[in-house]
Amino acid sequence: MLLQLSHVTFGYEGVPTVEDASLALQEGERYGFVGANGEGKTTVLRLMLGELTPDAGEVFRKGGLRVGYLPQSGGFDSDSDVYGAMREVFREDEELIERLKEAQSALEKASPAELSALSQRIDGLERRIAARDSYHFDVKIATVLGGMGFGGVYTQKVATMSGGERTKLKLCRLLLEEPDLLVLDEPTNHLDTQTLFWLEEYLTSFRGALLIVSHDRYFLDRLTSKTLELEHKKLTLYRGNYTKYKVLKAERYKELLRAYEKQQEEIAKLKDFVDRHIVRATSAKSALSRVNKLERMEVLERPLPPPEPPRFRFTAEERPYERVLEAPSFDLSAGGKSLLKGASFTLLRGDRCALVGENGTGKSTLLKFFLSGSAAVRVGKYVKAAFYDQENADLDPEERVLDAFWGRCPRLTQTDARSLLARAGLGAEDIDKKVKELSGGMRAKLGLAALETANANLLVLDEPTNHLDLPARESLEEALRAYDGTLLFVSHDRRFIESLATKVYAIEDGQLTLFAGGYREFLAHKREEKEAKEAPPAPKRTESFRSREERAADARRRVRTKEIETRLEEIEGEEEALNLLLAECAADYKKVREISEKLAALRSESDALYAEYETLI
């Protein structure tokens, strides 16, 4: 055991954040930590790390426990350059290597009487160096810095870097330190897709325990095997990754509710018997025994239902012509920097188009360009577009929330406006605040609620899931799947893209490239490209020199590759149908559970097929 919470309670100003929490983190285990925005996950992390003292209960830590903690904000500070800052981690390794060199040098000049002691010292140093793998620290540094996107900036001073870059450098340090417990609070916030994939691969072989707070469902599903949930001030541990946790949570609630209702029925029967028989001489003894049973009974509390997630509903008033948006040839630049040259873009009615690319390639700039009224962009007839800005810059921070929303849709009555805001998760205690007083998640919900009122047939969304917790993201996905209009969006949430996209445009190396099909097809294509670049050149050999066995194996490989591609297409269709069915029967727990299990099985099959596919192509 690395760390244990025993009946821990903690709150601010007398209001509890977590109550009677007990938990044991085990060596080598991988935990996801989930809960709604503002529920108190970061507070629990700080209790575990000893930064806060519990109001009640205790926190136990293993002696000598080495913990690495990456907070959401607060980057790495150093007066050194990037490489020097990482090299500091291996100061002991460098000292061991230097001491070994000194001992080996002394061995050459040692007297016979000194040889035995020096040999033992050298042997001990060599063992320690081998155990720590000290000779390869340069390779470790290069691997981590390269994977995290710092391959070409070894000599840049840390102090000159942005906050996001210094947060990434903090993560680099933690990976190199290899702590017993690595605690990551939203580690994917500052990572582009390529770096995110690298980090996932690296953490799969991390030898310590992991505790991850993240809104990235792919990240959680791939890296965690247990899920810790903070809800209604209670800490609950589920065995399974995020997808499995959702099924187990629904089952647990149903079981607790069943037990509560069964006990309530028993209590009602006991009380009824007592009421009818307590005054009768012949049955008073039986009535008293039931009174005693009632007094000894540990009465169960009615389980609290999961908090209701926000609900959204997007509608389109008119149906546009087939070509919604078209830019046959255009250049794009920003701040004097050329982003695209000779690009072309077409968006058809009903498309759900994801725009992807690494950070800084101009995705947000491109979205705004399409809506700018430029002569290079042709907007189809009857197209009504609405834009969601990830920063919600069009909301006046000094305005009252209700007024900011109502100003977008003055035709609504105040009752209707309040109802729409409440459905989006903004209650009575929120709508009289100023916009600037809202959290990032609440501002996002306000922006999305305002977007609902536009009744647009083209939604252009720039990072709509930013700041949203997991239930809110899933609710937004559900609403957009049901939307009968056209979508063009940018997102770092891979599950969100996979769930919605029917076509993908990618910005790479100053080019805008269309990939027909969904996000899985796009990722498969990128894997093929990467493997083709990394693969050694095949030896030149004519077909006539290939053996019969080799030709047969090649034929079997082609057949199997085609089978996998066909099955992956079938899985995508089955998942789409199940997601639609899930939205239709959300109130039927039994069906929801069955569908969720089928979706989890399809995802597992898909992952296995992709793994096999990579060995064939």
- For the segment 284-325, what is each residue's pLDDT rounded down to a tens digit? 788 889 889 999 999 999 999 888 899 999 999 889 999 999
Cα 18 to Cα 57: distance, rounded to the nearest angstrom: 11
Is it the case that residue 600 has pLDDT exceeding 80? no
The mean of the pLDDT values for the chain is 88
Measured CA distances, 232 to 21, 387, 423, 473 (Å): 12, 35, 20, 20
Using alpha carbons, select from 219, 226, 231 the residue that is nearest to residue 245: 226
Give domain status of residue 429, yes or no. Answer: yes
Is it the case that residue 437 has pLDDT exceeding 70? yes
- Based on the fold, state whether residues 413 and 482 are members of the same structural domain: yes
- Based on the fold, state whether residues 505 and 382 are members of the same structural domain: yes
Average pLDDT over residues 188-209: 88
Give domain status of residue 74, yes or no. Answer: no
- Based on the fold, state whether residues 418 and 369 are members of the same structural domain: yes
Residue 120 has what DSSP assignment?
H
CB 59, CB 50: distance < 8 Å: yes
Q: What is the pLDDT of residue 547?
A: 59
Give domain status of residue 34, yes or no. Answer: no
- Based on the fold, state whether residues 370 and 518 are members of the same structural domain: yes
Name which residue leads in pLDDT, 268 or 593.
Answer: 268
- Based on the fold, state whether residues 405 and 476 are members of the same structural domain: yes
- Based on the fold, state whether residues 450 and 381 are members of the same structural domain: yes
Dihedral angle sign, alpha carbons of residues 185, 460, 513, 497:
positive
Q: What is the pLDDT of residue 69?
A: 94
Report the 3 state secondary structure along 522-563: HHHHHHHHHHHHHCCCCCCCCHHHCCHHHHHHHHHHHHHHHH
Sequence letter at residue 205: S
pLDDT tier, 118 (very low <50, low <70, confident <90, very high otherwise) = confident
pLDDT tier, 9 (very low <50, low <70, confident <90, very high otherwise) = very high
- Based on the fold, state whether residues 523 and 551 are members of the same structural domain: no
Give domain status of residue 91, yes or no. Answer: yes
Give domain status of residue 229, yes or no. Answer: no
Average pLDDT over residues 399-415: 88
CB 227, CB 23: distance < 8 Å: no
Average pLDDT over residues 572-585: 76
pLDDT tier, 68 (very low <50, low <70, confident <90, very high otherwise) = very high
Work out the percent of the chain whose per-residue pLDDT is above 70.
95
Is it the case that residue 151 has pLDDT exceeding 50? yes
Domain that holds residue 287: 247-296
pLDDT tier, 543 (very low <50, low <70, confident <90, very high otherwise) = very low
- Based on the fold, state whether residues 340 and 375 are members of the same structural domain: yes
Measure the N-to-C terminal CA separation of the chain; round to a whole number of Å.
43
Average pLDDT over residues 66-89: 88
Q: Which of 161, 184, 212 is the last residue of a domain?
A: 161
Give domain status of residue 395, yes or no. Answer: yes
pLDDT digits (tens, 9 = 90+) for 211-224: 999 989 999 999 99
Strands (DSSP E) found in 199-336? 209-213, 226-231, 234-239, 323-334
Q: What is the pLDDT of residue 570?
A: 84
Using alpha carbons, select from 75, 89, 79 the residue that is nearest to residue 169: 75
* Structural domains of the chain, count: 4
pLDDT tier, 580 (very low <50, low <70, confident <90, very high otherwise) = confident
Q: Give 490's Cβ-side CA count (13 Å radius).
A: 23
What lies within 8 Å, CB to CB, of 178 at 6+ separation is 206, 207, 208
206-230 exposure pattern, b = at least 16 Cβ within 10 A, e = fewer: eebbbbbbbbbbbbbbbbbebbbbb
What lies within 8 Å, CB to CB, of 137 at 6+ separation is 87, 89, 90, 93, 94
Give domain status of residue 560, yes or no. Answer: yes
Cα 425 to Cα 443: distance, rounded to the nearest angstrom: 10
- Based on the fold, state whether residues 611 and 580 are members of the same structural domain: yes
Look up tokens 């399974």; give the residue: 240
Q: What is the pLDDT of residue 224?
A: 95
- Based on the fold, state whether residues 521 and 605 are members of the same structural domain: no
Measured CA distances, 95 to 66, 103, 104, 109, 308 (Å): 21, 12, 14, 22, 57
- Based on the fold, state whether residues 330 and 369 are members of the same structural domain: yes
Is it the case that residue 29 has pLDDT exceeding 80? yes
Give domain status of residue 510, yes or no. Answer: yes
Is it the case that residue 539 has pLDDT exceeding 60? no
Average pLDDT over residues 54-78: 89
- Based on the fold, state whether residues 342 and 444 are members of the same structural domain: yes
Work out the percent of the chain whose per-residue pLDDT is above 90.
53
